[in-house]
Amino acid sequence: MKRRLLLLAPIAVAAWLLPYGLGGYTMHVVDVAVIFAILAIGLGLTMGVAGQINLAQVAFFGVGAYTVAILTTRTGLSFWPAAVLAILAAVAAGLLVGIPALRMQSHYLGIVTLGLALGFINWVTNAGIAGRAEGISNIPVPPLFGIDLSSGYLFYYLELVVFALVLAFALFVTRSPLGRRMRAMRDDGLAAGALGAEIPLLRMTAFVLSGLYGGVAGLLYAGLIQFVAPETFSISNMFLLLAMVIIGGRASVIGCVIGALGLAFVREALLDVSAYAQLGYGIVVVLVVVFFPQGLAGLPAQVFRRKARERPRLAPFVPYDEAPPTPARTALEIDQVTKRFKGLVALQDVSLSVPVREIRGIVGPNGSGKTTLFNVISGFYTPTAGRVRLDGNAVTGLTPYRLSLEGIARTFQNLRLFEDLTVRDNVLVALDRTRTSWIWRYLALPWAVAGYDRSLRGRAEEVLQRFGLSDFADAIPRLLPYGIQRRVEIARAMASSPSLLLLDEPAAGLNGDEVGRLAEIVRSIRDSGVTVVVIEHNMGLVMSLCDHITVLSGGRVIADGSPDEVAVDPRVVEAYLGDSMTAPTEREAEHDHADR
């Protein structure tokens, strides 16, 4: 941290001294570039960090600039009150444009936001109040303690202060729990939801942030140029902005700033041959997308592969403390659950109840409905009929994030780690148990947020240490061996302090030793007071690990009992082998039993 501050100091000094070496026109170009940098940060936050395709950023910019222009010239409001209202208006526009994100994502969202941006341009070019195609001129110079801001030099200092603030806020947001949740949502919305992230609110937050940055940029633009016209907010500028963010690196705030400043100067230098410039940046965008998806910000990592100082090692798991015995009660009860998909019955009248502190195995042939059952329990599917109760409370049909806060954690058959987050960040996402409504603190009490983040980080180290993952804390999951990824996923699930843990094929892809260690971990989790339900195909593991087994076939429960009972049940043997012909006779079974 101190090193970073030391690095920042010369940059800040250089930025402060910059105007002394520049001519008037160059100063103006720099002023505009800084405004684009602010816009780019906003776009980076929504698109790169939160993964929401937002092609309406220029419209937010326009809302900010036009609000100032209209309020100051038409109503005689002075600049700063108009500026505050402009920010509010841009945030409101962000909310409005963000609403479609609740219903659609990716290219659909892209086209809807782009359409709404076109609608905005259409409005300003036609509305008398917005000055039509000629725009609005004579916007007053912002007064500031007698400083003459009509000078591009002095305006630069105002911009610099604002820029430093918004940059710091963006960095703060991306590195805090909110930013982690947004990045988690970008990488895997389903898994993020299952870990307590309130996806709809997070999407809206992303659009609010982009509106906020658009508004700030807009009011600075109005104050700087004192003139607004539709072409500044055109689609081609939207694409320029997009190119800035992509070339700089959309997931990195600093990358966005560098991309914006760089491209703004390039554009200025090539103003006389703008068609060539557009050709150039079009080609660069295509090349960046195909060869350097992380943009400039990803280059250092691509060029200097960080060498590991020593070979990282998976440390042994540190067992949980055994919890004192609790009175027997039902942790999870599934009552007559049926789930149909378009006429296909995936689950039919499935009932089972799992007492607290039990390891329950769910087994059955392919397509017997095991994962569907997990999806119903964890809220991904709403059952067609039936009820789910957690510790006696009805939780049927609750959303995954609510269920996560209620104490259900799960892993996924095909692993759903957040691929571009470090192992530590994966765990941190799960540790954060706040509701999204908590985020008002980011503006009002940033120090409280910082304190909370520190406490989370402390606990993350504990979790990583317990699961023997400390050496991998800064690693990117997809580069780790599969066995370690599996363990990261369990660590992440346990970081959310669940009362019920659902494991979907935790042993898939593990070798013999790893399976043994997995069994040890799962037993310790049970002994710490957590109820565990596990879907597994490795029958050796199921038989030795589970206290009780439920067998599904064709969406129905066909057997339920202790491992020994289930293994000799003819219906089970038939489900697995196609026929009961290889089922042991009763005498053989008794014989087998005596052997053990």
CA distance 494 to 485: 14
DSSP secondary structure letters along 246-276: HHH-TT-HHHHHHHHHHHHHHHHHTGGGHHH
Q: Is 303 in the site for other proteins (CB under 8 A)?
A: no
CA distance 535 to 134: 67
Strand partners, 532: 359, 501
CB of 250 to other proteins, least distance (A): 8
Q: Is 591 in the site for other proteins (CB under 8 A)?
A: no
Closest by CA position to 254, among listed 29, 4, 454: 4
Q: Is 320 in the site for other proteins (CB under 8 A)?
A: no
Q: Is 482 in the site for other proteins (CB under 8 A)?
A: yes
Which of 458/481 has CB closer to other proteins?
Answer: 481
**Three-state SS at 410:** strand
Buried b (16+ CB within 10 A) or exposed e, 413-443: eebbbbebbebbbbbbbbbbebebeebebbe
Q: Is 103 in the site for other proteins (CB under 8 A)?
A: yes
Of 199, 256, 258, 552, the one binding other proteins by CB under 8 A:
199
CB contact at 8 A, 133 and 126: no
Of 237, 404, 485, 496, the one binding other proteins by CB under 8 A:
485
Residue 147 main-chain phi, psi, to 5 deg: -80, 135
**What part of residues 241-260 is at the interface with other proteins (CB under 8 A)?**
242-243, 246
**What part of residues 258-287 is at the interface with other proteins (CB under 8 A)?**
275-279, 281-286
Which of 441/523 has CB closer to other proteins?
Answer: 523
Q: Is 239 in the site for other proteins (CB under 8 A)?
A: yes
Of 167, 254, 508, 519, the one binding other proteins by CB under 8 A:
508
Of 162, 190, 405, 558, the one binding other proteins by CB under 8 A:
190
Site size for other proteins, by CB under 8 A?
A: 79
CA distance 117 to 157: 31
Of 509, 517, 519, 528, the one binding other proteins by CB under 8 A:
509
| Single-letter amino acid code for the residue at 22 | L
Q: Is 108 in the site for other proteins (CB under 8 A)?
A: yes
Closest by CA position to 534, among listed 502, 489, 566: 502
CB contact at 8 A, 170 and 178: no
**What part of residues 131-160 is at the interface with other proteins (CB under 8 A)?**
none
Q: Is 540 in the site for other proteins (CB under 8 A)?
A: yes
Write the interaction track for other proteins spanning residues 82-101; mark x where CB under 8 A is met and - where it is not: -----------------xx-
Of 105, 351, 436, 524, the one binding other proteins by CB under 8 A:
105
Per-residue tokens: 102: 């609740």
CB of 152 to other proteins, least distance (A): 29
CB of 511 to other proteins, least distance (A): 8
**What part of residues 409-468 is at the interface with other proteins (CB under 8 A)?**
none
**What part of residues 20-59 is at the interface with other proteins (CB under 8 A)?**
47, 51, 53
Q: Is 594 in the site for other proteins (CB under 8 A)?
A: no
Q: What is the CA radius of gyration of the chain?
A: 29
Q: Is 558 in the site for other proteins (CB under 8 A)?
A: no
Q: Which residue in this structure is represented by tokens 């920042």?
A: 8
